[in-house]
Amino acid sequence: MERLAASERINLERTSVSIELLSDEQEQQVVEHLRESRDRIDAELSKTIVGQRDVVQQLLISLLAGGHCLITGAPGLAKTLLVRSVAQIFHLKFQRIQFTPDLMPSDITGTEILEQRDDGGREMQFVHGPIFANVILADEINRTPPKTQAALLEAMQEHQVTVAGKRYVLEEPFFVLATQNPIEMEGTYPLPEAQLDRFMFNVLIDYLPHDEELTVVLQTTSSRPEPIEQLFSGEDVLKFQEVVRRVPVARETADYAVRLVAATRPGRSEATSFVNDWVSWGAGLRAAQTLVLGAKARALLEGRSHATADDVRELAAPTLRHRVLLNYKAEAEGVTIEDCIDTLLKSVPAV
């Protein structure tokens, strides 16, 4: 597998949970550990979560790839429970932040307060905010003003926060999951495209089929769920993230990801007629990077040693649905972003 680039080594060196770069033998041990634990992950999650297999897979892929997720779903679909359960399996510190119109940036990052020392003097002390955790659930992120939404930007991109001119590095691994409801949009503040682009995936959580919903009702009204067993540590997650970047990907597979993303940009030679008709703004470079990195994580999660075009295809929807902006014509014709992505996958060949 390919070695880490210099920039990626710097990324690892800044983490508060430091690990040495893995040797080939250690790397193989990490891969085997994840492969052997895959069924156990599903078994532990099934104690609290029924169904939603694609949703679980996308969250795990994002965690292994070191990305962040935007979760879209109606209230009462166990979004918080799912995120907390994943954090428990990986033994990561979990914090839930309820975003409201009156939430201030300091309520997220923390603030400095004046404290008295033992010798009678006074000094400013920094009080850490809830952002200082491994897994952050930003609940209903679109209900808070842009100034507060922006407080997450530096943390998501740089894994640090700046308060009163001082930089505070966040503990690694650091994983943000933001939720927004597709209903009750009055009085909300839609996330700008630049901020949406920083989320690796937009994960859709839909209502369960009848049989699975019946199972949930019976389980939750008869007994308390079994406690979830810890399977990994934060250091394991960092090792997984390092190994993911070493998973080889064929040039043809990466080329497919780039062509797929380029085809979403209207007015370009790569765009097809339906993109020019329906799309106002296409996906940027980060979408192609997400497809390739996500394909590597998916391959590792499924016990394979290399990523394929099928991995790219399977991750196209969560990667593109928040990065491609449809126009008024598409809305008037009843075309959804899912329709657009399905048509795109049929029109762009893998080879």
Tens of pLDDT, residues 1-41: 444 443 343 343 343 344 455 566 667 777 777 777 778 88
The answer to whether residues 207 and 286 belong to one domain is no
> What is the 8-class DSSP label of residue 226?
P
The answer to whether residues 175 and 82 belong to one domain is yes
Find out whether 92 and 234 touch, Cβ atoms under 8 Å. Answer: yes
> What is the 8-class DSSP label of residue 181?
-
Choose the final residue of a domain: 246, 267, 297.
246
> Is residue 60 in a domain?
yes
Q: Note the pLDDT of residue 183.
A: 63
Q: Note the pLDDT of residue 320.
A: 95
pLDDT per residue as tens digits for the range 236-295: 888 888 888 888 899 999 999 999 999 999 988 888 888 899 999 889 899 999 999 999
Task: Specify the pTM.
Answer: 0.83
The answer to whether residues 73 and 207 belong to one domain is yes
The answer to whether residues 93 and 222 belong to one domain is yes
CATH number for the domain spanning 268: value is 1.10.8.80
Task: Output the CA–CA distances (angstroms, integers) from residue 100 to 104, 136, 141, 188, in the order listed.
Answer: 9, 16, 8, 10
Which residues neighbour 261 within 8 Å (Cβ) at sequence distance 6 or greater?
282, 283, 284, 285, 287, 288, 291, 320
Quick one: tokens of 243? 């190994």
Q: What percent of the chain has pLDDT over 90?
A: 26
The distance of Cα 11 from the centroid of its chain, to the nearest Å, equals: 18
Find out whether 64 and 301 touch, Cβ atoms under 8 Å. Answer: yes
Q: Mean pLDDT of all residues in the chain? A: 83
Residue 66 is part of which domain span? 1-100+133-143+151-246
Name beta bridge partners: 178: 70, 138
pLDDT per residue as tens digits for the range 178-190: 888 766 666 677 7
Task: Output the CA–CA distances (angstroms, integers) from residue 113 to 50, 106, 121, 122, 163, in the order listed.
Answer: 45, 12, 14, 10, 12
The answer to whether residues 186 and 276 belong to one domain is no
Q: What percent of the chain has pLDDT over 70?
A: 90
Find out whether 201 and 55 touch, Cβ atoms under 8 Å. Answer: no
- Better pLDDT: 78 or 15: 78
The answer to whether residues 60 and 189 belong to one domain is yes
Which residues neighbour 169 within 8 Å (Cβ) at sequence distance 6 or greater?
14, 16, 159, 160
Choose the final residue of a domain: 223, 246, 269.
246
pLDDT per residue as tens digits for the range 288-322: 999 999 999 999 888 888 899 999 999 999 999 99
Which residues neighbour 343 within 8 Å (Cβ) at sequence distance 6 or greater?
274
Residues 192-228 as b or e (16 or more Cβ within 10 Å = b): eeebbbbbbbbbbbeebeeeeeeeeeeeeeeeeeeeb
CATH number for the domain spanning 211: value is 3.40.50.300
pLDDT per residue as tens digits for the range 97-134: 998 888 888 888 888 887 777 777 777 788 888 999 99
The answer to whether residues 217 and 309 belong to one domain is no
> Is residue 108 in a domain?
no
The answer to whether residues 181 and 318 belong to one domain is no
Identify each DSSP E strand in 207-351 by its residue range: 279-281, 325-326
The answer to whether residues 182 and 316 belong to one domain is no
- Better pLDDT: 114 or 172: 172
> What is the 8-class DSSP label of residue 142?
G
The answer to whether residues 324 and 276 belong to one domain is yes
The answer to whether residues 218 and 298 belong to one domain is no
Choose the final residue of a domain: 246, 278, 294.
246
Please tell me the total count of domains within the chain: 2
> Is residue 125 in a domain?
no
